[in-house]
Structure 1
Amino acid sequence: MGEVAVIIKIMPKSPDVDLEALKVSIKEKLPGTQDMVVEPIGFGLSSLKVAIVVPDAEGTTEEAEATLRGLEGVESAEIVSVTLT
């Protein structure tokens, strides 16, 4: 089995969520994190797009998504794309 690159869009609960602190939490919980980009949404709210590499095994992408949803300050986490590396 190989690996897959997953891009997940993370929406914070409010514009007051510290995205830099959230980035640190993400790197601690998901060691396969490759890149994180802040995307402005509007009215002071921004999302994070996170690129991670996980093993190509059943359930690993959903596991990563669930881990991100469990972080403090995260409203939602949605897989945007998955591709083989």
Structure 2
Amino acid sequence: MAENIAIFRIMPDEPGAEAKIKKALSNIKDAALKDVKVEPFAFGLNAVIAAFVLEEREGAIEALEQSLKKISKVSDVRLEHVSRI
């Protein structure tokens, strides 16, 4: 079965929450975490950019997005890019 790489921008709900979010990303069961970085966003907030590899199947990306939204200290999750690998 083919795989996709999905890149998400994850916004914390408060400054300094990036470390907790990064730690929680490694516990996501829906996909394999490939890369995580933190980028400055605005007014002391940083966005967490996470790349995941997951099976190409219907609803997989939506399920992953919902899992990310359930992480403590996350205020918003946006899918930035998806590509077949």
Length-normalised TM-score, structure 2: 0.92
Q: Could you tell me how far apart the structure 2 residues matched to 1:54 and 1:67 are?
A: 13
Question: Aligned with 2:24: secondary structure?
Answer: helix
- CA offsets 1:30-61 (integer angstroms, 9 cap, x no match): 45000011010121100011000000001000
| Structure 1: runs of 5 or more not aligned | none
Give the % identical residues. Answer: 29
Count of matched residue positions in the alignment of Structure 1 and Structure 2: 84
Matched, 1:8 2:12: no
**Deviation at residue 14 of structure 1 after TM alignment:** 1.4
Q: Could you tell me how far apart the structure 2 residues matched to 1:44 and 1:26 are?
A: 21
Aligned to 2:51: 51
Question: Aligned with 2:68: secondary structure?
Answer: helix
| Structure 2: runs of 5 or more not aligned | none
Length-normalised TM-score, structure 1: 0.92
Question: Aligned with 2:14: secondary structure?
Answer: coil
Q: Could you tell me how far apart the structure 1 residues matched to 2:28 and 2:84 are?
A: 22
RMSD value, Cα: 1.1
Q: Could you tell me how far apart the structure 2 residues matched to 1:75 and 1:20 are?
A: 15
Aligned to 1:20: 19
Q: Could you tell me how far apart the structure 1 residues matched to 2:8 and 2:21 are?
A: 14
Aligned to 1:36: 36
Question: Aligned with 1:29: secondary structure?
Answer: coil
Aligned to 1:76: 76
Q: Could you tell me how far apart the structure 2 residues matched to 1:21 and 1:71 are?
A: 9
| Deviation >2 Å, runs of 4+ | none
